[in-house]
Amino acid sequence: MSQQSPSPRTEVRRKPQRAHHDPATIRAIIDQALVCQIAFNQGGSVHCLPTACWRDGDFLYIHGANNSRLTQTLLEDECAVSITHLDGLVLARSAFHHSMNYRSVVIYGRFEAEDDPDAKAAAFKAFVEHASPGRSAQVRPPSRAELAGTRLLRIALDEAVAKIRNWGVEDSVEDMAIPVWAGVLPLSLRAGPVQPEAGCAEREPPTLPTFIGFFTRCNG
Amino acid sequence: MSQQSPSPRTEVRRKPQRAHHDPATIRAIIDQALVCQIAFNQGGSVHCLPTACWRDGDFLYIHGANNSRLTQTLLEDECAVSITHLDGLVLARSAFHHSMNYRSVVIYGRFEAEDDPDAKAAAFKAFVEHASPGRSAQVRPPSRAELAGTRLLRIALDEAVAKIRNWGVEDSVEDMAIPVWAGVLPLSLRAGPVQPEAGCAEREPPTLPTFIGFFTRCNG
């Protein structure tokens, strides 16, 4: 994935100052995602479904059961994959200038299947590590039957674009005297308090990915 | 929006035990969303874009600039709208049985424009109230020019389906002795610490919607 020029599909016409095409920015947004949304056509209709995701190299990975309609459909046609992090409410003095801070990525292309058992085992290990670093060494790895029954798909990040809004309020000058609180209310995904299975409470709790903070100790 | 039978598009074939078609469940999931993802076709390609959303009655609302390609395209063809709340990581003793808890909704249909200025003013007021209850009375309401320059779209919730996973680990019996922490790690969208504009720090801070908790006082 090298530095790209926008394609007709990844050129941002609406608020182009928010667009980013550099791979590092796109990867960083993907790397904080646990779920993506996939838009695809099937049966004469457009669909949009969420699924878990992770990145390895220049590909975004998803998985599904071997007999799933979704994964079969995705192999047959192009799709669009969207990832969005909602980072804050931008609360202005006028209703009109309210906004949201966010980081989003859209990927265009077609998924391909990765059927090699070793590659699948490595990818699913990376998936577990993405959700809880260090965990893959502690859990039972997939059996051959489990690997065989699960389809691994990946899509190249070759045609992708990021959009970011990460700044403050943009009120008009004539609204600045309105005596209301204005500013940004940051939002983030937080974890906790943990809900251990019976017999697990005394064990070392799971490690979180760096992009998710705990809030256990305060208002859990 | 009355009790519905699934349509061919909202019948869930994959893990149907997670599917819900009752309007109360669908509405409750939508009411905790600030952002949705919209899948649509344009220029021979499928697209997936995030945008802000809110519900009023039996409709999901979005908005955009009058000259936006997105809103124009949505008026011309059917789309699918997806909302997903990631509620937790389900950490099993085997890699294979890891899962996620979530609540999602997919809506099928076509957006329609609401052009009546009074209806638009009421809808944008509801939007501000959705993001910060009580705020619409404190900020400057939209001017006639701002209302005229903004397109309001709504889509009926007539053809919609929810999927929910909200339970614990489902390990196989033969894996129960593996000495790893297993359980659910709840995830939620949290707010804080607030970032007031200059001169706003002493004012009453914004009210949050009930579905977002603050974490300001601990690890902000």
> From CA A138, how far away is CA A152, in angstroms rounded?
22
Q: Which of B98, B187, B191 sits opposite A185 (nearest CB)?
A: B191
The CATH 2.30.110.10 portion of chain A extends over 16-188
Q: Which of B14, B43, B146 sits opposite A96 (nearest CB)?
A: B146
Predicted confidence (pLDDT) at residue B64 exceeds the cutoff of 70: yes
User: Residue A217: what pLDDT?
Assistant: 44
The CA–CA distances, whole Å, from B176 to A57, B179, B217 equal 34, 8, 38
Class of the B16-173+180-185 domain?
A: mainly beta
Looking at CA atoms only, how far is residue A54 from chain B in angstroms?
14
User: Residue A68: what pLDDT?
Assistant: 87
B93 and chain A in contact, CB less than 8 A: yes
> From CA B163, how far away is CA B102, in angstroms rounded?
8
The CATH 2.30.110.10 portion of chain B extends over 16-173+180-185
| Best of B37, B204, B216, B217 to mutate (most A CBs within 10 Å, chain A) | B37
Looking at this predicted complex, what is its ipTM? 0.95
C-beta of residue B159 within 8 angstroms of C-beta of residue A158: no
Predicted confidence (pLDDT) at residue B4 exceeds the cutoff of 80: no
B138 and chain A in contact, CB less than 8 A: yes
C-beta of residue A136 within 8 angstroms of C-beta of residue B82: no
CA nearest to A131, candidates A56, A211, A76, A67: A211
A15 and chain B in contact, CB less than 8 A: no
| Best of A37, A87, A106, A214 to mutate (most B CBs within 10 Å, chain B) | A37
User: What does the pLDDT average to over A28-33?
Assistant: 98
User: Residue A218: what pLDDT?
Assistant: 44
- Which architecture does CATH list for A16-188? Roll (2.30)
User: What does the pLDDT average to over A39-43?
Assistant: 97
Report pLDDT digits (tens) over B96-144. 999 999 999 999 999 999 999 999 999 999 999 999 999 999 999 999 9
Secondary structure class of B44 (helix, strand, coil): coil
Predicted confidence (pLDDT) at residue B2 exceeds the cutoff of 80: no
Predicted confidence (pLDDT) at residue B33 exceeds the cutoff of 50: yes
- Mean pLDDT, chain B, whole residue set: 93
Secondary structure class of A32 (helix, strand, coil): coil
Which residues 39-78 of chain A have a CB within 8 Å of chain B?
Answer: 39-41, 43, 45-50, 52, 65, 68-70, 78
Write out the two tokens for A199. 């017999």
